[in-house]
Amino acid sequence: MTSPQVLLLAIGFLAVGLWLMLPRGNARGRGWGAALSVIGIMAMIQAGSLAGQLPLAAPWGYRSVVWLLGGITVVSALGAVVMRNPVYCALWFALSLLGTAGLMLLIGAQFLALATVVVYAGAIVVTFLFVLMLAQPEGQAYYDRISWEAALSAITGALMIGCLTAAISRLPYADLQPDAATLKLRDRSFAVEQHVAELGGRLFSEHLIAVEIAALLLLVALIGATAMVRQGAKPPSAEGEGVAESSVAAAKGGPR
Amino acid sequence: MSDPSLLANYLWIGAMLFGIGLVGLAARRNLIVMFLSAEIMLQGVSISLVAWSRFYHDWGGQMFVLFIIAVAACEAAVALALTVVLFQRAGHLDVAFWQKLREDSLTEYVDHELPVVLDEESHWPELTPAGRRPAEDPTQTPYRSHV
């Protein structure tokens, strides 16, 4: 089979698999959905490889580690998206982040791998679990068991992945590749032993203004989040038309 | 070593993460799960940028990812604050409750049938009772829609 046929087949498999896995009431077939999605993803990569005809320069051990970590990342991202219980979603998301960090570590982004684990898995996931415990002690909510337009969403996502895969496999890699002289020049700073020191040096010299802006952004986000939580618990104004009953009831507790 | 096949592998993984996150953002109705899906999309973009950085032996991609992480942290702070506030007002995390924010020309979305909870799924593990039941705070009860 040629590459476009495999690609169409892969898009179909992935769409049906995603549709089966998304929460749709009490509908069954999630195991079949998972199997179909994995088959679709593998077929999609096969289609990309058929179209790309890329030379395999990396040793096979290196490539197999890449595929192992990539598989963990993608499968746990699928789990994070389709699980009915939000606590499981957060746990699958944490696993997906660990896979991402491993992938980054593998291609020489040591600091980013560490930052991903520390910032996301350390801080954000703990915050997620905190919010989940605050919000959902009962575990079973009707809105976790139904989706907006599960079929359309699955088709959109599968088409998106298929188009991106096809586009990536057709990139003119030979033209994109920098010549050996440029690479050698860049290697003097990129392939250094003290990777993090070099990254920090560049961050605080070339990108100093961006660092300042990021600091400002963090401050604004901090103030905004605090203001939102403080204002949000107050009773809504009397002329607030669209305020539902439960919010008025919630406001009786007064501002916290 | 600039390896085109390695770059393509990483770009595929990034594209898949992006697409899967897109599905979750479009389909799920829980506010927190929608937010998680958006983070998955950010992860996909980050992987692609790091792969390009490796391919060109250039620091620009890694710098970009560093700022993506900073922006994601800000986003998490604001989004979780919003989630807490919306939960306090609505009593649940259903995003359909806030559909009155839609435009006038759009029709209201109505759930035609809600899923019934099956008996075998509503079984939860039981712990041995210990101590006495704490007194409930009457001011807290209006916050819970159904427990």
Mean local confidence (pLDDT), A15-37 = 87
Residue B132 contacts A where some CB pair is shorter than 8 Å: no
Looking at the DSSP bridge assignments, the partners of residue B94 are B30
pLDDT(A172) > 70: yes
Mean local confidence (pLDDT), A47-67 = 77
- CA nearest B76: which of A141, A190, A231, A131? A131
Angstrom distance (rounded) from CA A201 to CA A203: 5
Neighbours of A238 (CB within 10 A): 6
Query: Hunting for tokens 């993608």 — which residue is that?
Result: A74
Helix (H, G, I), strand (E, B) or coil at B30: strand
pLDDT tens profile B123-146: 566 777 788 877 777 666 555 555
Instruction: Please report, rounded to a whole number, the percentage of residues in chain A having pLDDT higher than 90.
Output: 36
Query: Hunting for tokens 């427990």 — which residue is that?
Result: B147
The answer to whether B73 and B117 are in contact (CB under 8 A) is no
Mutate to test the interface with A, among B57, B100, B143, B145 (most CBs of A within 10 A): B57
The answer to whether A154 and A24 are in contact (CB under 8 A) is no
Label residue B117 by pLDDT band (50, 70, 90): low
Neighbours of A180 (CB within 10 A): 9
Mean local confidence (pLDDT), B77-97 = 84
pLDDT tens profile A144-169: 888 888 899 999 999 999 999 989 88
Q: Cβ–Cβ of A247/B90 closer than 8 Å?
A: yes
Mean local confidence (pLDDT), A131-154 = 75
Contacts of A86 in chain B (CB under 8 A): 30, 32-33
Cβ-count burial B55-93 (b if 16+ within 10 Å, e if not): bbbbbebbbbbbbbbbebbbbbbbbbbbbbbbbbbbbbb
Q: Cβ–Cβ of B96/A123 closer than 8 Å?
A: no
Q: Cβ–Cβ of B23/A157 closer than 8 Å?
A: yes
Q: Give the lowest-confidence range in A66-70, A107-111, B121-125.
A: B121-125
Is B109 a member of any domain?
no
Domain range spanning residue B79?
4-99
Q: Greatest CA separation found in chain A? A: 71
Q: Cβ–Cβ of A132/B32 closer than 8 Å?
A: yes
pLDDT the model gives residue A79: 93
Residue B99 contacts A where some CB pair is shorter than 8 Å: no
pLDDT(B106) > 80: yes
pLDDT the model gives residue A3: 81
Helix (H, G, I), strand (E, B) or coil at A232: helix
Q: Closest Cα of chain B to A31: distance in Å?
A: 17
Is B143 a member of any domain?
no
Q: Cβ–Cβ of B115/A224 closer than 8 Å?
A: no
Query: Hunting for tokens 């089966």 — which residue is that?
Result: A20
Q: Find, in chain A, the residue whose alpha carbon is nearest to that of B40.
A: A77
The token pair at A17 is 């698999």
Domain CATH code at residue B38: 1.10.287.3510
Is B53 a member of any domain?
yes
Q: What is the mean pLDDT of chain A?
A: 81
Label residue B57 by pLDDT band (50, 70, 90): confident
Q: Closest Cα of chain B to A210: distance in Å?
A: 8
Is B65 a member of any domain?
yes
pLDDT the model gives residue A237: 53
Question: How far lies A45's CA from each of A53, A60, A180, B124, in Å?
Answer: 12, 17, 29, 41
pLDDT tens profile A175-222: 787 777 777 777 776 766 778 888 888 899 999 999 999 999 999 999
Is B138 a member of any domain?
no
Residue/partner pairs of A31-37 with CB below 8 Å, 24 or more apart: A33/A82, A34/A78, A37/A13, A37/A78
Partner residue facing B32 (CB), from A128, A217, A226: A128
Mean local confidence (pLDDT), A50-70 = 79
Is B90 a member of any domain?
yes
- CA nearest B55: which of A71, A173, A69, A149? A173
Looking at the DSSP bridge assignments, the partners of residue B30 are B94
pLDDT tens profile B8-31: 889 999 999 999 999 999 999 888
Top-confidence range, A108-112, A167-171, B37-41: B37-41
Is B74 a member of any domain?
yes
Instruction: Please report, rounded to a whole number, the percentage of residues in chain B having pLDDT higher than 70.
Output: 84
pLDDT the model gives residue A126: 67
Angstrom distance (rounded) from CA A153 to CA B26: 6
Q: Closest Cα of chain A to B119: distance in Å?
A: 12
Continuous segment of H or E residues that includes residue A42: helix A30-52
Angstrom distance (rounded) from CA A15 to CA B34: 19
Contacts of A96 in chain B (CB under 8 A): 17, 40, 43
pLDDT(A139) > 70: no
Q: Cβ–Cβ of A168/B11 closer than 8 Å?
A: yes
Task: Provide CB contacts within 8 A for B98, sequence distance 6+.
Answer: B86, B90
Is B141 a member of any domain?
no
Angstrom distance (rounded) from CA A99 to CA A114: 12
pLDDT(A247) > 50: no
User: Domain tally for chain B?
Assistant: 1
- CA nearest B142: which of A142, A233, A144? A233
Neighbours of A205 (CB within 10 A): 8
Q: Write down the ipTM of this complex.
A: 0.84
Angstrom distance (rounded) from CA A177 to CA B94: 48
Phi, psi angle pair for A67, to nearest 5°: -70, -35
Partner residue facing B15 (CB), from A124, A165, A187: A165
